[in-house]
Amino acid sequence: MTGTPLPADLPDDRLPDVLGKALAGLYTGPARLPARPGGRTEALAALHAWTGAGYANRNFLHGNVSRLSMYLRHGMLGLREVAAHARSVMRGRERDEFLRQLAWAEFYRLVLRQEGARVLGNLEDPKYPARWTPDLPDDVRTGATGLPCVDAWLRHLMRDGWMHNHERLWFAAYLVHWRGVHWRAGYALFREHLLDGDIANNALSWQWVASTFSNKPYFMNRDNIDRYSSGRWCGTCTAECPFRAPYETLEGQLFGGRA
Ligand SMILES: Cc1cc2nc3c(=O)[nH]c(=O)nc-3n(C[C@H](O)[C@H](O)[C@H](O)COP(=O)(O)OP(=O)(O)OC[C@H]3O[C@@H](n4cnc5c(N)ncnc54)[C@H](O)[C@@H]3O)c2cc1C
C-alpha cells in the first residue's frame, strides 16, 4: 500500500477494485468482499448476536457455531471479551464446550509465543513411518479430486474462505494420511484462503492431525463423515470411497497399524 487512506465515502461495491489494485501480488484469484463484513462494529454486532444456543451440536456441519474466528484472527475481537460474553449468555455444558474451544485458541497462541517459527516445522517426529511429499497435488489445488465430499470442502475453502472445524479435520487427514502430503502444504493452502487463516491455530491444528504435535494421527472413516455431515454426500456418492472401511482396517492401511 502507498499509505493513501481510503476515501471515507467509498461505496462497498468499489472496495474489491480499489483494494484489489492496492494489494496486487499479495493474493490470488479475483478480489471480492467476504461473506461477512470486517471491522470492529461488525465484529461486536456478530458477538452480541451470538447466543450459543445449539452449540452442543458443534461437531455437526449443521451445528450452530459462532463463526467469530475471522474477527478473532484479525484482532477485531479479543478472546477474553468473547469468553466474557459467553459466560453471560451461555449455560451449562454448551458454555463449557465453547470456553474449551477458546482455551485451545489461547493455548495455541501461547505455544506460538514460546516456540516462534519452530511451529512451522515438525515439533515432534510423526508417530508413524510417514513419507510425506512437499507439494500440493494439482487436483487438490483445483478442487477436482473426484471425491464429492473432498471437492465440497475445497469449494468451501476457496469460495467462502471458511470451513467448519470438522471439514478442516477431515481435509487435513485426507491430505496428510491418504495423499501423503506434508502438512505444511495444507497449512499454506489454508493460510492463502481462510479468512481466519493464521499461524498458531492453523499450523498447530495441522500438526495435531499429522501427529507431530499429538500422540497419534487423527483420521476418520466414511461413517464419521456421513454422520457429522448428516448424510450430505455419502448416500448419493458413486466415487470409489477411500474412507469406506472400519477404523482398524484404515489404521493398518494408513499407518501400518502403528498409530
Ligand atoms: C487443520 C485445521 C486448521 C485450522 N486453521 C485455523 C486457522 O487458521 N484459524 C483459526 O482461527 N482456526 C483454525 N482452526 C480451528 C477451528 O477449525 C476454527 O477456529 C473454527 O472452525 C472457527 O469457527 P468458529 O469461529 O465458528 O468456531 P467456534 O466453534 O464458534 O469456536 C469459537 C472460537 O474458538 C476457537 N476455536 C474453535 N475451535 C478451535 C480449534 N479446534 N482449535 C483452536 N481454536 C478453536 C476459535 O477462535 C473460534 O472462533 C483449524 C482447525 C484445523 C483442524
107 is in an annotated binding site: yes
The finding on whether 56 has its CB within 6 A of some atom of ligand 1 is no
The three cell numbers locating residue 257: 497399524
What is the pTM assigned to this prediction? 0.95
| Closest atom of ligand 1 relative to the 105 alpha carbon | 44
**Are the C-beta atoms of 179 and 146 separated by less than 8 Å?**
no
* Ligand 1 atom with minimal separation from the 107 CA: 43
Kindly report the length of the chain: 259
172 is in an annotated binding site: no
Among candidates 64, 98, 54, 63, which has minimal Cα distance to 230? 63
pLDDT, position 81: 98
Interval 17-43 mean pLDDT: 87
58 lines ligand 1 (CB under 6 A): yes
List pLDDT tens digits, range 199-209: 999 999 999 99
Residue bearing the CA closest to ligand 1, atom 16: 165
* Cα 223 to averaged position of ligand 1 atoms, centre (Å): 23
SS3 239: coil
Please give the pLDDT value at position 4: 73
More confident residue, 6 or 46: 46
Q: Which atom of ligand 1 is nearest to the CA of 164?
A: 21
Q: How many CB atoms lie within 10 A of CB 210?
A: 29
* Three-state SS at 181: strand
What are the pLDDT digits (tens) for 165-216? Answer: 999 999 999 999 999 999 999 999 999 999 999 999 999 999 999 999 999 9
Q: DSSP letters along 109-174, please?
A: HHHHHHHGGGGGS-SS--SS----BSSPPHHHHTT-SS-HHHHHHHHIIIIIS---HHHHHHHHHI
Q: Is 65 in the pocket of ligand 1 (CB under 6 A)?
A: yes
Give me the helices (H) in 194-258, please.
200-210, 222-228, 247-255
Distance 38 CA to ligand 1 centre (A): 17
Amino acid occupying residue 91? R
Ligand 1 atom 8, closest CA: 197
Percentage of residues of the chain with pLDDT beyond 70: 98
Tell me whether residue 103 is annotated as binding: yes
Cα 201 to averaged position of ligand 1 atoms, centre (Å): 7
- Which atom of ligand 1 lies at the shortest distance from residue 199's CA? 8
The pLDDT of residue 257 is 61
